Amino acid sequence: MRVRSSQTGLILCTGIATQDFVFGVDKMPDRATKYRARQFACGGGGSAANYAASIARLGGTVGLVSRLGEDSIGDGIVAELVGDGVDCRFMKRFAGHQSSLSAIVVDPQGERMIILYMDNELPVTAEWVPDLPPDTVAVLADSRWPQGNLVMLQRARAMGIHAILDGDLPGVSVEAIKTATMVAFSSEGLAASTSETSLEAGLRKAATWSDATMIVTQGGDGVSWLDQGQFHHMPAYRVDAVDTLGAGDVFHGALALAVAEGQALDEALRFSSAAAAIKVSRFGGRLGAPDRTELLAFMAARRSDLVDGAF
């Protein structure tokens, strides 16, 4: 599907926002005992909120459509997003409910274990979801609020703008895939959604469901995609992994901004890979997301250095 691209305009991210409590440990816990953390960071998290903060740091105009409780955790989530430059007027607070939060353990190799709490009684209906403002140029949806995210993708599709879906969770709905103009799966999400073990076979199967651009991220193995029926692969930038938490979210946020700006797909994927690589080299989840100046400097310094590495 051909969509409008623009150097300016609003990107709306939709899905989950959390508060993250991140503990760096010497080894991943493997039994019930006490562990001492060597590092700690407290900051906002959640896929959609991470997209939005990443876009704002990279110079984009961005808003977040999300559900929070009417509590102190929600207050902190909103305050940090506003500080990053995210428009939070599209979020809804529900009295009597708790906002989402995560306890996250990160080992010296940057791998993480996440314990997520979500209020199972937080309303999932989407009748309150606002209309897209006329200056909206893209919608980026996670897979954690299917009801609201489908509405947002449908509205983006109807407007003829980018409707981008993060297919990171196993079993993302075919309906959402059909509605999107671009789907960026994780390798696990692609395998679970298509029942294919080959990345290329999975992308080709997903492409039979939709006219969307199909992409799959592979962490340290890079990113692959279909372009006019041809399978392509781009290796990752090599970095020393410190913390992989939020790297995929930073990738998706940067990707949405790049395609909204009109970057060619391979350029957009390189831009996104660089953003994720920088984040992986820093502890603290999305606190490590780069700004535009450092991202462009990184890409310039590593112009000929796209090799198998880690993001």
What average pLDDT does this structure show over 159-178?
A: 92
pTM, rounded to two decimals: 0.92
| Mean pLDDT confidence for 115-132 | 95
Q: CA 46, CA 86: separation in Å to the nearest integer?
A: 14
pLDDT at 169: 83
In this prediction, residues 104-117 reach a mean pLDDT of: 93
- pLDDT tens digits, residue range 66-105? 999 999 999 999 999 999 999 999 999 999 999 999 999 9
Output the pLDDT for position 285.
87
Residue 21 has pLDDT above 90, yes or no: yes
Confidence of residue 172 (pLDDT cuts 50, 70, 90): confident
Check whether 5 has a pLDDT greater than 50.
Answer: no
Give residue for tokens 């010296």. Answer: 108
Angle at 58 between CA 176 and CA 294, to 5 degrees: 135
The average confidence (pLDDT) of the chain is: 93
| Model confidence at 170: pLDDT above 80 | no
Closest CA to 213 of 192, 197, 229: 229
Q: How far apart are CA 86 and CA 14, in angstroms?
A: 12
Residue 107 CA to residue 110 CA, distance in Å, equals 5
Are the CB atoms for 290 and 57 separated by under 8 Å?
A: yes
Listing DSSP states for 245-304 in one string gives TTHHHHHHHHHHHHHHTT--HHHHHHHHHHHHHHHHTSSSGGGG---HHHHHHHHHHTTT
> Does residue 281 have a pLDDT over 90?
yes
Q: Residue 16 pLDDT more than 90?
A: yes
The pLDDT assigned to 8 comes to 67
Average pLDDT over residues 57-70: 97
Query: Could you give all domains of the chain from N- to C-terminal order, each with its CATH number?
Result: 10-26+38-122+129-301 (3.40.1190.20)
Q: Which of 25, 94, 92, 65 is nearest to 283 (CA)?
A: 25
What CA–CA distance (Å, rounded) separates 11 from 163? 10
